[in-house]
Amino acid sequence: MKKLLGLLDFKLLKFLLVGVVNTLVGSAIMFGLYNLAGWGYWISSAMNIILTSVLSFFLNKYFTFQSRGWSLGQVVRFGVNILLCYLAAYGVAQPLCRLALAGAGETVRNNVSMLLGMVLFTGLNYLGQRLFAFRDQA
């Protein structure tokens, strides 16, 4: 329990600040592609994650977790973390919203699902970046 509470510190605040920037950019990309361009759920949400992940990598590496070293392993861990968090968050959100909003239209269900996916992704991504991608090397 003490280790879990240790995750609630200034790094979390900085992660959330970086997340605000990513959320604004990613939301515009994802909801714009889905609602304005007519792209599907998975491609719209994937473009959000792909395009904002590069920004997230650099901001979280240097600003949030102050990880100064460079290694291919760190880049690979970051990419694996993003992929797993994306698949888990959006993969869970879509069927949940399909069940919870069974009477709503597909567009409403998918928009709510993408919103829920963003929330789930944020929590999973924080844990993955902190404990896996940019973990202390000490």
Instruction: Check: CB of residue 64 under 8 Å from CB of residue 18.
Output: yes
- The answer to which of 18-32, 85-99, 122-136 has the lowest mean pLDDT is 122-136
* Per-residue confidence band for 138, with pLDDT thresholds at 50, 70 and 90: very low
Q: What is the 3-state secondary structure (H, E, C) of 79-100?
A: HHHHHHHHHHHHHHHHHHHHHH
**Which residue is associated with the tokens 């997340």?**
19
Share of residues in the chain with pLDDT > 70 (%): 92
Q: Which pLDDT tens digit goes with each residue over 14-68?
A: 988 998 888 899 999 999 999 999 999 999 999 999 999 988 888 888 888 887 8
pLDDT of residue 10: 84
Tokens (6 digits) for 41: 């759920």
Share of residues in the chain with pLDDT > 90 (%): 57
